[in-house]
Amino acid sequence: MPYKITPPSEVSEINVTPLVDVMLVLLIIFMVITPMLQKGASVDMVRTQNAAKMPNADKTNAVVLAVTRDGRIFLGSNPVKLSDVTSKVKDRIQDRLNKTIYIKSDTRTKYGRVVAIVDDVRAAGVQNIGLLTQKIQGQPPNAPPAPLMP
């Protein structure tokens, strides 16, 4: 007597294994790519209570000079020597209508270094300079300022 082969019944459950595999791969890709999306050099900006909002500094075409704690200077993500700041800034703003330069400095950068950079930017013909800071979160308006260094 021959055996009768019956076709398997249809499975009505969703197989989530391929979905989980794809989601984990996407998660890993985003975790690797996200730090690379940061614009310019990474600095620990000075924290202030009354920081002014500068929404134009976050635009992709904004000209940002960054000064790291060890005094290195970056124009966008490119390293620049102090002696070249004036010429590089002139080249960058030459064809722009908005000639604002934003400077972000690390908390531990020497004050004289930042002043020298501001002076070189002014020598390039820039009248509008924005000093980027980070607003202190969660303090009432009349509270004493938080210490900058622990």
- Where is pLDDT greater, at 19 or 137? 19
Q: Which residues contact 96 (CB under 8 A, 6 or more apart)?
A: 63
Q: What backbone torsions phi and psi does residue 139 show, to the nearest 5 degrees?
A: -105, 140
Stretch 26-36: mean pLDDT, rounded? Answer: 85
- Beta-carbon count within 10 A of 85 CB: 22
The DSSP H or E segment spanning 23 is helix 17-33
Q: Which residues contact 110 (CB under 8 A, 6 or more apart)?
A: 71
- Containing structural domain, residue 100: 47-135
Kindly report, residue by residue over 91-126, the tens digit of the pLDDT. 888 888 888 889 999 989 899 999 999 999 999 888
Residue 150: pLDDT over 60: no
User: Where residue 97 sits, what CATH number does that domain have?
Assistant: 3.30.420.270
The pTM (predicted TM-score) of the whole model is: 0.64
2 within some domain: no
120 within some domain: yes
Kindly report, residue by residue over 64-94, the tens digit of the pLDDT. 888 998 889 998 888 899 899 999 999 888 8
141 within some domain: no
90 within some domain: yes
59 within some domain: yes
140 within some domain: no
- Total domains, the chain: 1
61 within some domain: yes
**In the prediction, which pLDDT does 145 show?**
60
Could you identify the residue written with the tokens 């996200």? 34
**In the prediction, which pLDDT does 59 show?**
78
130 within some domain: yes
